[in-house]
Structure 1
Amino acid sequence: MLISKKCFRMTCVIMSLFMILGILTNVNVKVTFADTKSQNLLDNGDFENVNDSSWSARGSAEVSYTTDEFHAGKRSLKITGRTKTWEGPIKDMTSILKKGGTYHFAVWVKYNDGPSTKAFNLQFENIILGTASYASAGSVNAEKGKWTLLEGDYTVPNNSNLTKYSMYIEVPYKADDQVTKDDTMDFYIDDAAVTQTASIDYQRNILQLKKVFKNYFPIGAAINPDLIDSSNIHAKFINYQYNTIVAGNAMKPDALEPTEGNFYWKDADKIVDYAQKNNMILRGHTLLWHNQVPSWFFTDPKDSSKPATRQQLLGRLKTYISTVARRYKGKVYAWDVVNEVLSDTSGLRGDSENSKWKGIIGDVDGDGYDSDYIELAFKYAHEADPNAKLIINDYGLESSTRKMNEMYTLVKRLLKKGVPIDGIGIQMHISMYSPEVKQVKECIEKLSSLKKYRSGFTVQVTEMDMSIYSGSSEKQKDATNDILLQQAYQYRDIFNVFKEEAKKENLSMVVMWGNSDDDTWLDNTPVKGRKDAPLLFDRKLQAKPAFWGIVDPSKLPVQRHEAYATEGTPVLSDTPDNLWGVAKSVDADNFVKGKSGATAKIKTMWDSKNLYIMANVKDTTPNKKDGIEIYIDKNYDKAASYQSDDKYYDIYSHKKGSSKITYKAELVKGGYTLQAVIPISDVKPAVGNKLGIDFKVKDYNKKGKLSSEAVWNDTTNKQRKVPANFGDLILQNESKLTYAIKGTPVVDGSIDKIWGNAAAAETNKLVQGTSGSTAKVRTMWDEKYLYVLADVTDNNLSKKSNNSWEQDSVEIFIDQLNDKATAYDSNDGQYRINFDNEKSFGGNCDTADFKSATSKTATGYIVEAAIPLNVLTPKAGDMLGVDFQVNNDEDGDGTRDSIATWCDSTGMSWSSTSNFGNVLLKNN
């Protein structure tokens, strides 16, 4: 990943969702905090007794009782004099907590100086055989001036060599030379409580992943050394469910060689021994990375202020890889030799993205490519362990066609050069909202096709998890039954692809990044204090719906998918109204009869009187009986049987047959279109209301026999009996629409006269922050380009951050075919231009033909750009999907303070086109 993958044991508890004697039950489940009303094991947790001296300070900090601030009562504990991040209050818990016991910890924290928000961590220091180790129990993002609850669960190791264990509070770690005054502010704690909770255990009477997928691929989990102590229940659980493990952090360079020539093997050896003892496959992660690598690698050994030379860095790389790979020769099945070398914009990661490898080593062999550090890393690894599978590993390959293609091109070139690369690792840190399943399939098949250049070449899924969040703009939310069910179906669909690709010998392994939700790096990442639930087992090691989704989907209840109806009144005519271009479609492509046949993309719109439906049906075997059934639950009572408001309607491709609603059918090449109108005025529709709905496409062969049925939602095929199995149709406001006039401006960063008649869209939707920079955006078009002119209001221009998205900049998102899909495909692109005309890209951009120019103004800056229209031949009347975004570093500190968009309020325009607005191409 882009940031360090440290696993945290965090605060929220996902109660067991199901499973009594192996049977799924439907229970409402939320990520909630553990009960804190039980007996408090701490004396003087309210800090009212000033004679109690059981709390002390770490480092140079000091603790004292104070009446200046308090959460309750009259006093709190104040922490002052801090000079390092880890300095703060600490309390010895050895005589209070039992080894092996599981406890809930809660304490209120407050600070009054420094940044507007600050993360606080609740930690444990354990002394085992005289050596300190550290574990996380909780974290929270506190707001300045407000008392905030910091809490979490922790199990004390049941280790006979554990002689002392203490609880302490700190802010996130920084190296001493990176600490600022914002890290060392005074703070207060109050009302601390520790309560015992039930110990966790795993289910021994459910299916085992390693047996379910035995005929497909090994399945594993990332682990850390503390999880496999003999006293830790996770050690038995991991061996019960998985047959493969990978070290989460213990085999990274900063863990193995923190200072030059001084290797630390204890934690890595412990993981290797565990794998050997339990006959498990072991992956090694990772030999070369730009993160979690000590700074000494890149500095002159005699003067750390100077960079290392090419020879020095190559010597260190060879020594490191040779030493590590030879030590574990024959014990590590596969190594992630290089990790995350692809840039987030294009090419290989460089200095601007915190990687020094390419810049220092460069083009050693003079072939015109600066990938030599990658080639040599594989060469050194192969020399050290010729039998290990050697993998190049990266994230986002399944989500970004550009990145996938760049990986394919890079590896193809290196394989043809003879570099011993045995496979590509697709990390698969994804969301339950994206990518689309078809993208995962396309990615595996594209990358695995490289096996024609090397025998045994393979693709592996190396770090899979599935966040319940759409992105960093979402705040913490409850993991409700509906959310966990949606996650389960996404896991089901993706694992179906995995099994299919394994049968084709394209995929050889799947590894989860964590064994259960209590061991996920996504707690606090990318949002401090936010908890996630991305894995197959919950924080109590109980199987989640996601587990059943991949081992036995029949145990899952029907999922109610969501569709969105845009407000509008399309005209029913032979040619579908252009207004349909603003609506999102859903796919009726889940076969409940047959395995292939007709499918449909279906859009809906609404007004105060009617629900409008348009279906584009693909059908290669036309028959007069072909058609669609529409099912509707008007009052959304989700009843178990039909009520008076529940209806279904048959409409036919040849408009022959009876129907109680108005509709129009048109045969087109490759299928037919259907437009229908259903009266809904009786339920007084309004924005935000929901209707129950489902669709079924019925396909008859040329002999008139029903050959297939494909539905949108209810895969149990009980639409005529159970309205509760319909999907949800949410009534939305009309979709945003702007107009592009025809014309060809000069792209020079100025507002030429030709722009005078162009319509303006305003980025007035704040996705982040409460105020900030905005822009008026105009568009034009010709036969080659969509032109964009953004006039940005910004009173303090900044590009201090190395991250392009945190610089003052404009982002232009385009969906040329206006698919409004949940993930990018080949016609979607993200173009980012900062005020100095420095460009970066995401999605699938035509960077060669893209043009832009910028200029500074008295009130901000102007961005003018030409976006290539390379997927369609544009003409008046075409509707494109677009959105515009303004990034703003208000105070110039290198951190993005606000995001303003024209249309999408989710903050996910970089990965999903589903919430884009629309631009209609018009003649002058």
Structure 2
Amino acid sequence: MLRNKTKPSLIYLLIVLLVLPNGLKPLLKLQAQDQTSQFTTIFQEDFATELESVSHSGEANLERVKREDNSGSEQYALHVSNRSANWHGVDLRFSSIGLEDGATYKITVNGFIDADEHTDPGALVLVQNIESYQGLYLNAPMEQGKPFTLTGTYQADFSKDEAIRIQSNDVGREVSFNLTEIVIEQDNSVDNETENPVDQHPPAESFKIIDFEDGELQGFEPRGSSEHLTVTDEANYTEDGQYALKVEGRSNTWHGPSLRVEPFINLGKEYQISAWIKLISPESSQLQLSTQIGSGDGASYNTIDSKVITSEDGWVKFAGTYRYNSIGNEYVTIYIESANNSQASFYIDDIVFTETDADEIELETDLQPLKEVYADYFLIGNAVSISDLVGQRLDLLNMHHNLVTAENAMKPSYAYNTARQFDFQAQDELVNLIQQQDLALHGHVLIWHQQTAEWLHTSDDGLVLSREEALANLRKHVKTTVEHFGEQVISWDVVNEAMNDNPANPADWRASLRQSGWYQAIGADYIKEAFIAAQEVINENNWDISLYYNDYNDDNQNKAEAIYQMVKEINQEYAKEHNGEQLIDGIGMQGHYNLNTNPENVRLSLEKFISLGVEVGVTELDVTAGGEHAPTERELQAQAYLYARLFQLYREHAAHISRVTFWGLNDATSWRSAQNPLLFDRNLQAKPAYYAVIDPDRFIEEHEADEQEANLDYALYGTPKFGAELDSVWFDAPVLPINRYQMAWQGASGTARVLWDEAYLYVLFQVSDSELDASSENAWEHDSVEVFVDENNEKTSFYQADDGQYRVNFLNEATFNPAELEASFESLTHVNEDGNGYTVQMKMPFRTIEPVADQIIGFDLQINDGHNGSRQSIATWNDLSGQGFQDTSVFGHLKLLQDSENQDLYVTINENEQTPVFPSQTITVRGYHFTLALPADLPPHTTITINVLDQLDNPISAQGLPLIKRGDVIDVKLELPTGYEAYQGEFILTLDIDSLAKSPVIYYLNEQMNQWQFKGGVIDPTSDTISLEVPSFSSYGVFELNVDQIVADLETRLEQLIKLVAQFERHGGAITELSQQIEEFKQEVNQLIEQDEQLSHLLATLLNQVANLEERLTEELNKVTPVDPNEAQRDELETSTPKSTDSVVAGQDGERLPDTATTLYNWLFLGSAIMLLGIASYRYQSKKSKRVEIE
């Protein structure tokens, strides 16, 4: 009996010793704490005296009051009111309450809610650590008229936190509360040097798909104050459902439906996020699915998926993944917005938020730090928000950088509260965190036309303020902000993005300025006045702070010249009055580049600015590559090559460069995340670009420059009729997305469709833009669309007789380059009734060619976004250089197709080349014999790309068994039109078989598991091919299994099963249970044979069935407890075989079958198993020459 009692304890002890990282140490330590733990009170506040150690957070009012508690007794309390955000509350700063770095504390907070204070279900009062929000999370319900108590432990970490905050969750953001006592006790028993803070964020709850079928909002809330969210039966995506959420009444681009998701998050995990969206208005608009992490000024905003869709597309799936390494201050949302249309309306349905199987990430700590490589050249910086200053993101930041720029928090609009008073509290929290990390800080930004309080230069009725009033506001804003942050910053962007793009006359810099609110109220000298105001504060305090002018598209030579002329004149004028001193110390080159950027243009601009005698900062560097969050290897290499070229250039001019700042830590959090622009990928792993930056000379030596291929798309044969109602023939043509932005600012976007006949080229534009403007004297600065045509596609650097540029604004006013293009040109425009965009139909004659099917012409499309008399954005289909008005080499390619009814049925395409395909076609790849037959209902405008996979890295089956490649292996990518992403059809894949194949089968690659899954196939021995019908595509290939290995595994398994049966009988197991287990096994195997499976797969599946039976018998055996210790030991010896289906286990030398194996059921089982194995082996050898069909 003693032995039976102690055995579980010994097993438990063994588990502890083997599994826990430090063996018994935590358990022994826990026992010691229970016996000797002592607490010392280091802070206690009952509010009986005046407040000294507490301060308010946000706009909360703190008032010491004397009132009755809920029991009727009088007591002092701290009344916390005037709350409008979850983080508004009470701060206990470490320096005020005497906390020590690394010490562990027990925290207790008591309070109550007034009886007349309204509370909503789900409202919580919280205690958290500021700023990391990790390691302390205490909560209690906020209930009307009831007390609350919060208690828990926290280990102080001065490198991450500076205060303890008492606040609420978002549901309780407006609830006033009372605090009656705060007690903080130090735990003297804890070894604080070895303990780490414990994340107290609760485990994730399960997320249920939101389909609105109950008629409720399901937690969705509007992000702004104007939009309306309504559950409606006007539209529905859910199968057999009725309802969706309608979103309308938006008045700002960031408005939209928002859902809190932090309860469903496990920190560090990756999540698949998706929503189905149907556009209502306008006819075309950009929409995006995003996630917000944290609240207030320090929040980060990350795009998950972005698309331009049309109202004709129906339901479109927006989906992507995001890894949550931080949950901010317990505030995380997913939301849908339109980045460039403030009035777009839409439906949403079937929202999914699920954890993926992706492993948690580990930082590559063995990488060479960027800041060390360039320590002798310039500072290495990055853009940050609160979420970047905690956990792995902070580790990566500190490893590679020595300077940061606040991505959003220090922009002008965040300096004020709702009462239009200065309020730097949120910014101070971010700055304090940065200071704790010993990172230098660059201030961004003082004066800007975006993210600025309009009332600083414009009255509430929309009229521009007088010069005197606006100038006074400008000076006060600049001086107050600079003085507040002082020498916590090393430099400031004083004025940001004041210059128009590609100005026509850059020598006249004043005429080249953006017509911003500041410009309209004050005039061109607002720039100089802003620098003077900042410099006055710096001089008064004798600070060493550099002042910068900052702008994008710095590689455009016209824009660079205008900036050069402006800085030169302002500095010369200031020097005359101030003893030769400069006013503008530096020029910030933002560096938002793409794969078409010419590094020589960057060099020209850089050297032009250096010649002024100012320093240069590379302030927001990123290089876009690819799209849809999935760059190709070629795009990654091209991106790396450009980074290498740039850093060669920066290093060459390092004496004049103060810093190089990347605009984001990794692709997932970049403002251009879909285009993968940074050095580290979505999982914080180094990309080729990192290695190019570390050693640019070596990278360039080992790689070749990649010429970027121009876009190729298609025009369909057809002649549309122009009218208010669009001719249905338009909708047979492919959709061309116009979403490549030549500027950093991303404004109006849209789509186009192209038709052709023997005389004309026809283009339909559908533009999404809620603010239309044609006030500029320059036609290219109106809200307008443009078509570029190079009929002979010679790609010359200048216009020839066959080339042309056509422009039409939303008022149907046309301009041409050259002017004679007006002959025979026609256009028709229509502005959407809701003002959300416009449509343009254009008809352009072919002038120098007689077009024929399959001919390719040079072609491009452009959308200009006018705003307040200037062009704030340019979106194109192909060109990113902005030179299309004079250089046809930057155009894309347009192929003229026959109508879909006259397409060839058998088509040969090039490998790795995206090609349009049509229903019922059979596709093959040049140089190969495999074929792909397309279904008759294939959606229109589908394209296909096929790659042949010659080299495979140790392919394995879903059972973990090695596979042998025995034929073609291909990767097929189908690009389906918007709205058809979920399409599945009857594709017939026919692959070649190698001559060495004995039992080939088609397998499908499960990319998430990196395993090949059995699919089957129909073998045709006359052609040595195997065919399979598949519903959709990824990677498919011909493989076979190593049958000898499988048979050896089966023999070992059968021997093990007989041992289990012997044990089962010896310990008194019910014979009926055993009979049932064996009978189920035989039925399963017989069913496999009846299905006529391919034999190698049958053997592999039989192996799995044997392993399953072994597990079932083991479970039955475990229900029987051995009565004799010797029997238990014998059992352990007999069943010591591991249970992996992937390994062959040898039996003990000299071991024989147990005597009880001669029982009736053992012989029945053994005979059945051997018979099945024999049948399978025989059929495997005999069927090679036969045609075998796999179901």
Give TM class, smaller chain: 0.5 to 0.7
Change (3 A) 1:45 1:351: farther
Residue number in structure 1 paired with 2:533: 380
Residue number in structure 1 paired with 2:271: 104
Residue pair 1:776, 1:792 contacting (<8 A) in 2 also: no
**1:479-506: CA deviations, max 9, x gaps?**
122211111111111101111111xx23
Residue pair 2:289, 2:305 contacting (<8 A) in 1 also: yes
Instruction: Tell me how far 1:434 sits from its aligned partner.
Output: 1.2
Structure 2: runs of 5+ lacking an equivalent: 1-202, 575-581, 713-733, 739-750, 829-856, 893-1191
Change (3 A) 1:484 1:402: same
1:417 and 2:573 matched? yes
**1:322-379: CA deviations, max 9, x gaps?**
00101111121111111112112425588995512222212xxxxxxxx311111110
- Point out the structure with max Rg over C-alpha: 2
Residue pair 2:381, 2:662 contacting (<8 A) in 1 also: yes
SS in 2 for 1:417: helix
Which structure ranks higher in relative contact order (CA pairs < 8 Å, sequence separation ≥ 6)? 1
Match of 2:493 among 336, 340, 348: 336
Superposed, 1:72-151 pairs within 5 Å as 73-75=239-241, 78-80=244-246, 82-84=248-250, 93=261, 95-98=263-266, 100-111=267-278, 113-122=280-289, 135-136=301-302, 138-141=304-307, 142-144=309-311, 145-151=314-320
Structure 1 CA distance for aligned equivalents of residues 529 and 310 of structure 2 = 48
Structure 1 CA distance for aligned equivalents of residues 477 and 274 of structure 2 = 43
Instruction: Tell me how far 1:542 sits from its aligned partner.
Output: 1.3
Residue number in structure 1 paired with 2:780: 804
Residue pair 1:119, 1:139 contacting (<8 A) in 2 also: no
Identity of paired residues, percent? Answer: 23
Instruction: Tell me how far 1:123 sits from its aligned partner.
Output: 5.1
Structure 1 CA distance for aligned equivalents of residues 879 and 491 of structure 2 = 37
Instruction: Tell me how far 1:393 sits from its aligned partner.
Output: 1.2
Structure 2 CA distance for aligned equivalents of residues 344 and 170 of structure 1 = 30
**1:133-154: CA deviations, max 9, x gaps?**
6754623325541231333314
Superposed, 1:812-823 pairs within 5 Å as none
Change (3 A) 1:383 1:885: same
**1:100-159: CA deviations, max 9, x gaps?**
34231323313263234455554557788x999675462332554123133331416366
Residue number in structure 1 paired with 2:660: 510
Structure 2 CA distance for aligned equivalents of residues 341 and 87 of structure 1 = 26
Residue number in structure 2 paired with 1:189: 350
Instruction: Tell me how far 1:268 sits from its aligned partner.
Output: 2.3
1:492 and 2:492 matched? no
Superposed, 1:323-722 pairs within 5 Å as 323-346=480-503, 347=508, 353=514, 355-362=516-523, 371-386=524-539, 387-398=544-555, 400-418=556-574, 420-435=583-598, 437-451=599-613, 457-469=614-626, 476=628, 478-502=630-654, 505-523=655-673, 531-553=674-696, 554=698, 558-562=702-706
Structure 1 CA distance for aligned equivalents of residues 220 and 863 of structure 2 = 42
Instruction: Read off the aligned partner of 1:559 and give its amino acid letter.
Output: H
Residue pair 1:68, 1:75 contacting (<8 A) in 2 also: no
**1:258-310: CA deviations, max 9, x gaps?**
6574223234223322332232221111111111112112223xx53322010
SS in 1 for 2:367: coil
Residue number in structure 1 paired with 2:406: 247
Structure 2 CA distance for aligned equivalents of residues 246 and 322 of structure 1 = 20
Structure 1 CA distance for aligned equivalents of residues 766 and 605 of structure 2 = 42
Change (3 A) 1:94 1:409: closer
Structure 2 CA distance for aligned equivalents of residues 107 and 397 of structure 1 = 37
Instruction: Read off the aligned partner of 1:422 and give its amino acid letter.
Output: D
Residue number in structure 2 paired with 1:915: 889
Change (3 A) 1:275 1:838: farther
Structure 2 CA distance for aligned equivalents of residues 900 and 136 of structure 1 = 21
Residue number in structure 2 paired with 1:264: 423
Residue number in structure 2 paired with 1:612: none
Residue pair 1:120, 1:140 contacting (<8 A) in 2 also: yes
> What TM-score do you get using the length of structure 1 for normalisation?
0.54
**1:437-483: CA deviations, max 9, x gaps?**
222222222211111xxxxx2112111111115xxxxx647312221
Instruction: Tell me how far 1:771 sits from its aligned partner.
Output: 4.0
SS in 2 for 1:216: coil
**1:214-258: CA deviations, max 9, x gaps?**
111111111122321x3x321221111101111111111112236
Structure 1 CA distance for aligned equivalents of residues 452 and 551 of structure 2 = 17
Residue pair 1:522, 1:532 contacting (<8 A) in 2 also: yes
Structure 2 CA distance for aligned equivalents of residues 428 and 488 of structure 1 = 15
Instruction: Tell me how far 1:75 sits from its aligned partner.
Output: 2.8
Residue pair 2:256, 2:335 contacting (<8 A) in 1 also: yes
Instruction: Read off the aligned partner of 1:114 and give its amino acid letter.
Output: S
Instruction: Read off the aligned partner of 2:670 and give its amino acid letter.
Output: T
**1:784-814: CA deviations, max 9, x gaps?**
xxxxxx9999999999445936645768899
Residue pair 2:298, 2:426 contacting (<8 A) in 1 also: no
Instruction: Tell me how far 1:550 sits from its aligned partner.
Output: 1.6
Change (3 A) 1:56 1:397: closer
User: What CA RMSD, in Å, does the superposition of the two structures yield over aligned residues?
Assistant: 5.2
Residue pair 2:262, 2:327 contacting (<8 A) in 1 also: no
SS in 1 for 2:281: coil
Instruction: Read off the aligned partner of 1:408 and give its amino acid letter.
Output: Y
**1:791-844: CA deviations, max 9, x gaps?**
999999999445936645768899xxx9968xx9xxxx9999768999999xxx
SS in 2 for 1:466: strand
Structure 2 CA distance for aligned equivalents of residues 840 and 287 of structure 1 = 39
Structure 1 CA distance for aligned equivalents of residues 483 and 446 of structure 2 = 12
Structure 2 CA distance for aligned equivalents of residues 196 and 795 of structure 1 = 42
Structure 1 CA distance for aligned equivalents of residues 861 and 514 of structure 2 = 21
Instruction: Read off the aligned partner of 2:274 and give its amino acid letter.
Output: V
Residue number in structure 2 paired with 1:199: 360
Instruction: Tell me how far 1:43 sits from its aligned partner.
Output: 5.1
Structure 2 CA distance for aligned equivalents of residues 498 and 286 of structure 1 = 24
Change (3 A) 1:179 1:911: closer
> What TM-score do you get using the length of structure 2 for normalisation?
0.43
Change (3 A) 1:201 1:819: same
Structure 2 CA distance for aligned equivalents of residues 120 and 765 of structure 1 = 16
Change (3 A) 1:126 1:507: closer
**1:672-705: CA deviations, max 9, x gaps?**
xxxxxxxxxxxxxxxx9xxxxxxxxxxxxxxxxx
**Number of residue equivalences:** 586
Structure 2 CA distance for aligned equivalents of residues 264 and 137 of structure 1 = 28
Residue number in structure 1 paired with 2:441: 282
Structure 2 CA distance for aligned equivalents of residues 832 and 340 of structure 1 = 29
Structure 1 CA distance for aligned equivalents of residues 864 and 605 of structure 2 = 35
Structure 2 CA distance for aligned equivalents of residues 267 and 311 of structure 1 = 30
**1:536-577: CA deviations, max 9, x gaps?**
111211111111112135478943545699xxxxxxxxxxxx
Residue pair 1:350, 1:357 contacting (<8 A) in 2 also: no
Residue pair 1:103, 1:153 contacting (<8 A) in 2 also: yes
Residue pair 1:41, 1:194 contacting (<8 A) in 2 also: no
Structure 2 CA distance for aligned equivalents of residues 767 and 81 of structure 1 = 24
Residue pair 1:56, 1:63 contacting (<8 A) in 2 also: no
Residue number in structure 1 paired with 2:371: 210
Residue pair 1:110, 1:187 contacting (<8 A) in 2 also: yes
Structure 2 CA distance for aligned equivalents of residues 131 and 477 of structure 1 = 27
Instruction: Read off the aligned partner of 1:546 and give its amino acid letter.
Output: A
